[in-house]
Amino acid sequence: MIEAPSKSRGALWLFCAALALNAWGISIGWNNAFLPGNEFRQTQTAITALFIQREANFSLAYPTPVLGKPWSVPNEFPLYQWSVVGVARVTGLTLTQSARTVSCACFYLALGAVWLLLARIGATGPRRLVVLTMVLSCPLYVFYARAFLIETMALMFSLWFLVGLVNALERRSVGWLAVANLAGAGAGLVKVTTFIIYLIPAGVFCACWLWRIAAAPRSRADAEAPDSAGAFARALGWIFMGTALPFALTLWWVRLADSIKALNASGQQFVSAAVNSYFFGDWEMRRSPELWRTFAHTLLTQLTAPVTLVLFLVITAVWGGRWRKWIFASAGVFAAGPLVFPLLYSWHEYYFTANGVCLMIAVGLALGALLDSRLPRWTVWLAVIAVQVSQVVTYFHVLYPHQSLKADGGSGLTRLIRDVTGPDDVLIIAGDDWAPMIPYYSQRRALMVRRNMDHVSLYLTAAFDALKGEHAPILLVRGEVRANSAFKETARKYFGYEATPIATWEDVEVFVQPGLRDRFSRQTHATPYGGVKLDEKAASAADTLESVETVTSALPPERRSMFENFAPAPVRFSSRFAIGLMEYDGRRILMAHPTSRLVFAPEPGTRQITAGYGILPGAYENVPAPENPTKGVEFAITCVRRDGSSKVVFRRWLDPAMRAADRGLQTLNLTVLVDPHDELVASTAPGPSGSINRGWAYWTGIEIR
């Protein structure tokens, strides 16, 4: 069938516009570390990739360090996580950027399989372009196609399995048989729930194919050919060759993953026998009106607009024609998702990544059928464009505000944890189920006591015993668990936490081991960690620490790294509050809230000193009432002689609230004659008012050459 040039051009322009919109939408917030959209599941995948990268651990018992030791509780085969870490290693991209790259690549590769499947049912080029336009403009795929999730990889493998199997059987093609096996194995290993959805159309196709073979009449020329039973047996053999390997590998992985999970006190709750009822639900669940209201909400806010759905139903009923059976078939595969896995699809909207493409195929085929109608061309294209506009409006109204949010992820609490603990430290967290946001953004391993398990003494004993030998300096207790004094006492006996919380954040109580108290108090005083509130006793105790001097060489390596931008590193330092690293404006800065001193012991001679310093904008911009902005900070470099005398070689008082020139990063460059045994001291102190309120001073680094 030869298509009208106008129809082909119109479909091509529509496809290009949708592709541009999709690529633009996917790029929004690309560099943000924040993971919008079911952050629970994204951070679970992300923390696995993070520790695979950190530990170079590419074993099948891969780390998901949120449920205690042993740290492995595998669900999916880690092909996605390995790919993300591999891309990060090769390109130098951050882990989040690498994950988005892998997810997007899988999504666009999946479109190639859709194109071939549409060709298989006789759809011409313009119709296929209209269908792909629907997939590209679907709000869910603009939002989730770049998520830190395995979804698009599982979708890609599942669609290519279907393409490979259909072509292998119809053409008796060994090449397509290989595609079916490789893609099917990938789909089953990466996400079996997605694979199961596409086994439904694969099974229907195989049944129809076998029926045609069994029912095919034999001509006189075939009288000496093998009987129909032989042909049927050979057909079964091809089906077996196209599916046996994916099925076997999927079953092998499920059993291996179960054996690894069973080693973990928390992981035992996730073995397949324990979660099958959760995965597949029951008939009572499928009859729940609330469940179907949830599905309808996702359908009308993330997959289609109401206008799109109404037009789709009308077009299918009136002009569907010979495409109606394929429209119904695609819509049926879409409906199979929530019917087979009702709870998963009602609780996790991202699950529709697996089957949403089938609904988009159905709508696209309906629009393609409209192109064949005798309606005036302008009305046809008006309807097609109206559908696309409604999809775009839905995306901007529902999902764009989340995707465009500028955030680095985490919170003041996670930044504080990262600053006061070492990379090998472990967090104990109760009351947050196993939502990995705090461990992931803190970049720390954790034992997360799952919901209601804080009352199970046998479980707590096993989980806490497994952590013997680990350093677990912080306990976080959230929500209702704060009232469980028995749990807190058990954790205190095992890990030596103080009896009272040192700080709070939102509805979280923070307990620390005594050895971390001073550092935690000083760090919290000196650095703005949004929402973290130090208890009054700890706050007053921090005020007495100004004269305590620390020898840098006595610090563990991970703490000495805070002087990574100093050459040489200070030999000693002291602070009224704390000195510690913080991320700001794309760089790592050393917070030095007044009063602080960094003592250097440079080689004698004429030395060039260069440094960057400043005060964080939050100290003077948008300060909420009744608080007051900073009164400024004095930065100084002093040369202290061997005999105790001193000479100030640099001094500057920054008052950014009153002087615009004092805002932002400042620099210094000076020459100093250093005698043998002289020391140089970089200090921060209150300004003339004596106030240290919001004295959020920092050094970007100091070089003495």
Coil vs helix vs strand at 574? strand
Domain with CATH 2.60.120 in the chain: 546-704
Q: What whole-number distance in Å separates Cα of residue 62 and Cα of residue 334?
A: 32
What is the three-state SS of 7-71? HHHHHHHHHHHHHHHHHHHHHCCCCCCCCCCCHHHHHHHHHHHHHHHHHCCCCCCCCCCCECCCC
Closest CA relative to residue 674, chosen from 650, 649, 655, 698: 649
Choice among 44-48, 259-263, 458-462, 524-528 with the minimum mean pLDDT: 524-528
Out of 1.20.1440, 1.20.1300, 2.30.30, 2.60.120, select the CATH number for domain 546-704.
2.60.120
The pTM is what?
Answer: 0.80
Choice among 77-86, 524-533, 629-638 with the minimum mean pLDDT: 524-533
Which residues is 637 bridged to in the sheet? Answer: 650, 682
Given pLDDT bands bounded at 50, 70 and 90, which one contains residue 540? low
**Residue 529 pLDDT:** 84
- 595-606 pLDDT, tens digit each: 899 999 999 999
- Show the tokens assigned to 596: 């602080």
**Pairs from 233-239 (Cβ < 8 Å, separation ≥ 24):** 235/169, 235/209, 235/210, 236/210, 238/168, 238/169, 238/172, 238/177, 239/169, 239/206, 239/210
CATH class of 412-544: alpha beta
Counting every residue written for the chain, the total comes to: 705
**Residue 23 pLDDT:** 96
For residue 542, pLDDT beyond 80: no
Closest CA relative to residue 436, chosen from 428, 446, 422: 446
**Residue 287 pLDDT:** 86
For residue 220, pLDDT beyond 50: no
For residue 200, pLDDT beyond 90: yes
Given pLDDT bands bounded at 50, 70 and 90, which one contains residue 5? low
**Residue 146 pLDDT:** 96
Coil vs helix vs strand at 413? helix
DSSP for 475-518?
EEEEGGGGG-HHHHHHHHHHH---SS-SEEETTEEEEE-GGGHH
The answer to whether the Cα torsion of 335, 336, 341, 345 is positive or negative is negative
Tell me the average pLDDT across 100-125.
96
Given pLDDT bands bounded at 50, 70 and 90, which one contains residue 149? very high
The answer to whether the Cα torsion of 423, 425, 428, 434 is positive or negative is positive
**Residue 224 pLDDT:** 46
DSSP for 267-327?
GGGGSHHHHHHHHH--HHHHT-HHHHHHHHHHIIIII--HHHHHHHHHHHHHH-GGGHHHH
**Residue 372 pLDDT:** 82
Percent of the chain scoring above 70 in pLDDT: 95
Tell me the average pLDDT across 329-341.
95
For residue 218, pLDDT beyond 60: no
- Pick the residue with more confidence: 149 or 371? 149
Tell me the average pLDDT across 281-301.
89
Given pLDDT bands bounded at 50, 70 and 90, which one contains residue 439? very high
Taking a C-beta distance cutoff of 8 angstroms, is the pair 195, 250 a contact? yes
pLDDT, the chain, mean: 91
**Residue 6 pLDDT:** 55
Given pLDDT bands bounded at 50, 70 and 90, which one contains residue 217? low
- Report the 10 Å Cβ neighbour count for 482: 17
Q: What whole-number distance in Å separates Cα of residue 244 and Cα of residue 473?
A: 50
For residue 228, pLDDT beyond 90: no
- 17-53 pLDDT, tens digit each: 999 999 999 999 999 889 999 999 999 999 999 999 9
**Residue 84 pLDDT:** 98
For residue 452, pLDDT beyond 70: yes
Taking a C-beta distance cutoff of 8 angstroms, is the pair 428, 445 a contact? no
CA 82 to chain centre: 15
* Helices and strands: H and E segment counts in the chain: 26, 17
- Show the tokens assigned to 296: 């309808």
**Residue 2 pLDDT:** 43
**Residue 187 pLDDT:** 98
Most confident option among 401-415, 438-452, 514-528: 438-452
For residue 221, pLDDT beyond 50: no
Given pLDDT bands bounded at 50, 70 and 90, which one contains residue 582? confident
Tell me the average pLDDT across 517-542.
76
- Report the 10 Å Cβ neighbour count for 401: 10
Given pLDDT bands bounded at 50, 70 and 90, which one contains residue 14? very high
Taking a C-beta distance cutoff of 8 angstroms, is the pair 544, 593 a contact? no
- 358-376 pLDDT, tens digit each: 999 999 999 999 988 888 9
- Show the tokens assigned to 669: 């460059």
Domain with CATH 3.40.190 in the chain: 412-544
Taking a C-beta distance cutoff of 8 angstroms, is the pair 418, 442 a contact? yes
Percent of the chain scoring above 90 in pLDDT: 72
Tell me the average pLDDT across 92-121.
97
